[in-house]
Amino acid sequence: MAATRKTTGTRAASAAAKADAHREAPGPTEIRSQLVRTELLKAGVWIGLALLIGLCIVLIQPILLIFAGIVMASMLDGGARLLGRVLPIARSWRLLIVCLSLLAFLIWTIMFAGSQIADQAATLQTVVMAQIERIAAWASDHGMGNLQLDTKTITDNIAGTVGRVTAAVGTVLGGLTSLIMILVLGIFIAIEPRLYERGVAWMLPMKSRENFYITTARMGFTLRRLMAGRLLGMLVEGIGTWLACLAVGIPMAALMGLLTGLLAFIPNIGAIVSGVLLVLVGFSAGTDTGFYAILIYFVVQTVDGYLIVPMVAKKTVDLAPALVLGAQILFGALLGLMGLFLADPIIAMIKVALEREAERNADTANTKTAAGT
């Protein structure tokens, strides 16, 4: 009897072992080929990369707003650092002073725009269109074709030139909303930049974090210097144009100074647009005033191009003008107005990252050479 129970128990254990072995056996969907598994892994990486690119295209506007917030944060941080050279107080207080100064400037600009500049802006479109119609009539009289230009045609052409991906920014409400978001995001990042830097580094492998910190430090330095030079150029061009226009009697001097200063943020293209507007307004008051406008434009651009820009370029990334212009054309067509404004900082950041990667590759090569010898 005992032998029978023992035999029965042995059979049950054997059946259970076979059942366990059957459950652990490879199924029909198990991929046994190492080659197939490797190729599927590669395909998964490429599919994931394609999905990431598609997601970036769909979310390009918020991505640009985030980058614009980072640019704003670099300007606020740069202002706090610069203020620290004369005020030995805590960084939080210096940053508060910079933010309050920015807020005061915006309030002053809005109040000033509500009185004097708003009146001048109301007549700017009329003056510019009248000058364009005169140019079109002169071209037609000299056999260059019959040019029919109106405000809608010019506006549509400009909108098509700068792209439609970020068309929402082009509206008044969209522009104000985007500006507020950029300011708020920039202030939050500037308050505690190390917090966000450590957060991004935490998602990277341990071996990549040191290189990440070095690269971001160089990017921050370059961006601060680049924006400092840009703001200095805006200030010099805006005030210089305003005072010069007042001196020679060019109409809408305050508006011309404000537009010239704002457009100075966009290298190359901004100078061309502000120069065209200045010359058109100048010739609307007479031939002599028009030639004065041309002279003012060349003097202001010479001071900015041969004094301010080289001084900034020595301490930051020296970008070739053709490279910046090409990036502005490309980003403006693909990403719209925001891409046009941010083309210069984006190219500067890319160049810093590439220079850091080239430095790492050179160090690796030198280490291998030293080890081989």
DSSP for 199-231, please give it: HHHHTS-HHHHHHHHHHHHHHHHHHHHHHHHHH
pLDDT tier, 319 (very low <50, low <70, confident <90, very high otherwise): confident
Range of the domain at 104: 60-359
Residue 36 lies in a domain: no
128 Cβ partners below 8 Å, 6+ apart?
A: 277, 280, 281
Give 61 or 31, the one with higher predicted confidence. Answer: 61
Q: Determine the longest span between alpha carbons in the chain, in angstroms.
A: 127
Q: What is the pLDDT of residue 29?
A: 54
User: Among 39-53, 96-110, 116-130, 263-277, whose mean pLDDT is lowest?
Assistant: 116-130
Residue 219 lies in a domain: yes
Give 239 or 311, the one with higher predicted confidence. Answer: 239
Give 60 or 157, the one with higher predicted confidence. Answer: 60
| Residue matched to tokens 């769909």 | 58
pLDDT tier, 171 (very low <50, low <70, confident <90, very high otherwise): low
273-286 burial code (b ≥16 CB/10 A, e <16): ebbebbbbbbbbbe
SS3 annotation, 3-49: HHHHHHHHHHHHHHHHHHHHHHCCCCCCCCCHHHHHHHHHHHHHHHH
Most confident range (mean pLDDT) of 37-46, 196-205, 301-310, 324-333 is 196-205
Residue 123 lies in a domain: yes
DSSP for 171-193, please give it: SHHHHHHHHHHHHHHHHHHHHSH
Residue 256 lies in a domain: yes
Q: Please say whether the dihedral angle defined by the alpha carbons of residues 248, 252, 258 and 264, taken in this order, is positive or negative.
A: negative
Percentage of residues of the chain with pLDDT beyond 90: 1
Measured CA to CA, the distance from residue 319 to residue 314 in angstroms comes to 11
User: Among 151-160, 201-210, 309-318, whose mean pLDDT is lowest?
Assistant: 151-160
Q: Give the mean pLDDT of 117-140.
A: 68
How far is residue 321 CA from its own chain's centroid?
A: 17
Residue 170 lies in a domain: yes
Overall domain count for the chain: 1
Confidence check: pLDDT of 205 > 70 = yes
Give 113 or 158, the one with higher predicted confidence. Answer: 113
Closest CA to 267 of 316, 216, 219: 316
Residue 7 lies in a domain: no
Residue 347 lies in a domain: yes
Measured CA to CA, the distance from residue 289 to residue 50 in angstroms comes to 56
Q: What is the pLDDT of residue 166?
A: 47
DSSP for 246-293, please give it: HHHT-SSHHHHHHHHHHHTTSTTHHHHHHHHHHHHHHHHT-HHHHHHH
pTM metric for this prediction: 0.71
User: Among 4-8, 195-199, 265-269, whose mean pLDDT is lowest?
Assistant: 4-8
Q: Give the mean pLDDT of 306-333.
A: 73
pLDDT tier, 143 (very low <50, low <70, confident <90, very high otherwise): low
Residue 86 lies in a domain: yes
Percentage of residues of the chain with pLDDT beyond 70: 72
Q: Are 234 and 257 in contact (CB under 8 A)?
A: no
Q: Give the mean pLDDT of 350-368.
A: 86
Q: What is the pLDDT of residue 87?
A: 83
Q: What is the pLDDT of residue 274?
A: 83
CA distances from 19 to 8, 279, 323 (A): 16, 91, 69
Measured CA to CA, the distance from residue 69 to residue 50 in angstroms comes to 27
Confidence check: pLDDT of 312 > 70 = no
Q: What is the pLDDT of residue 169?
A: 47
Measured CA to CA, the distance from residue 85 to residue 156 in angstroms comes to 48
pLDDT tier, 164 (very low <50, low <70, confident <90, very high otherwise): very low
- Look at residue 245 and give its three-state secondary structure: helix
- Could you give phi then psi for residue 31, rounded to 5 degrees? -90, 110
Measured CA to CA, the distance from residue 161 to residue 252 in angstroms comes to 27
- Look at residue 147 and give its three-state secondary structure: coil
How high is the mean pLDDT of the chain?
Answer: 77
Q: What is the pLDDT of residue 83?
A: 86
